[in-house]
Amino acid sequence: MSIKEVSRNKCFGGHVVKYEHGSDELNCDMKFNVFLPQQATKTKVPAIFFLSGLTCTEDNFIHKSGAMAEAAKHGIALIAPDTSPRGVSIEGDSDSWDCGTGAGFYVDATEEKWSKNYRMYSYIVEELYSIVTKQLPIDESRVSVMGHSMGGHGALTIHIKNPHKFKTASAFSPIANPINCPWGQKAFSNYLGSDKESWKQYDTVELLKASKNERMDILVDVGTADGFLEKELLIDQLKKTTQELGRESEWNIRYQSGYDHSYFFISTFIADHINHHATVLKSLEK
């Protein structure tokens, strides 16, 4: 599957490139942004996928986070995909901001209405991963994933389920226990149906309980002034679960005083997250 370059802008010695391609998983055309550091002109480089939150596109993180400055220092590429299929004809897919367009929740839908297009889990883990590692100068052995809010949920669940592909994860304000919050319950009931047992395969807390993974190394930041903290994110439940499982030392969960859910928060701590990934990915260098 070929990708088409849409735009290219020089940035911190490298380039931010927007690509477009036809997606077999989503049955529509998709766009994604890539920051390729200067080193990518000579060799394959490690990469971090960034999964964005509700209502976002492939542009929000690239335009607002300030991540390229830090990624350039480490010679790391950034992959920023969209958050849902685009331009598909599904009745009601644009009726609300937290389900449908802009709200793919990084699951593979099983309900008939959504199942043809809403396969964001397989799009990220299989299709886009294959595209960037085969068609771009990305070192397949050194790839990781991070995200924000809905994308934080996606990053954590994808890493736990695919540690061989995505070597570490971090998250800003993740929806940590979606089966028990309104956002998650709405999305999962639409995409996955009424069998709540099936929901657990996309829930960080539930996956962690069932995980047999070796030692993890994960960074999570959330703001204490985040308006979604108590009702939607359920970070306390994630922290409690890590303690109960004796894995608290593997999860660096930080409550940042006075910060909210915005990109002002992300841009403040993005350097910490890039450094977290750089440490892990550099340790894998051959």
Rounded Cα distance between 37 and 16, Å, is 9
Q: Which of 185, 238, 248, 236 is nearest to 207 (CA)?
A: 238
Is there a contact between 118 and 251 (Cβ–Cβ < 8 Å)? Answer: no
Q: Is the dihedral of CA 34, 38, 42, 47 positive or negative?
A: negative
Tell me whether residue 267 is one of the annotated catalytic residues: no
Tell me whether residue 272 is one of the annotated catalytic residues: no
Rounded Cα distance between 191 and 114, Å, is 6
Q: Which residues contact 132 (CB under 8 A, 6 or more apart)?
A: 34, 47, 79, 138
Angle at 70 (CA atoms; ends 275, 140), nearest 5 degrees: 65
Rounded Cα distance between 254 and 239, Å, is 10
Is there a contact between 228 and 173 (Cβ–Cβ < 8 Å)? Answer: yes
Which residue in the block uniquely carries the two structure tokens 């685009």? 86
Max CA separation in the chain (angstroms): 51
Q: Is the dihedral of CA 62, 64, 65, 70 positive or negative?
A: positive
* Beta-bridge mates of residue 148: 172
Of 153, 159, 226, 273, the active-site residue reads 226
Rounded Cα distance between 62 and 23, Å, is 22
Of 144, 149, 170, 173, the active-site residue reads 149
Of 15, 261, 273, 277, the active-site residue reads 261
32 phi and psi angles, rounded to 5 deg: -150, 155
Tell me whether residue 149 is one of the annotated catalytic residues: yes
- Active centre residues (catalytic): 149, 226, 261
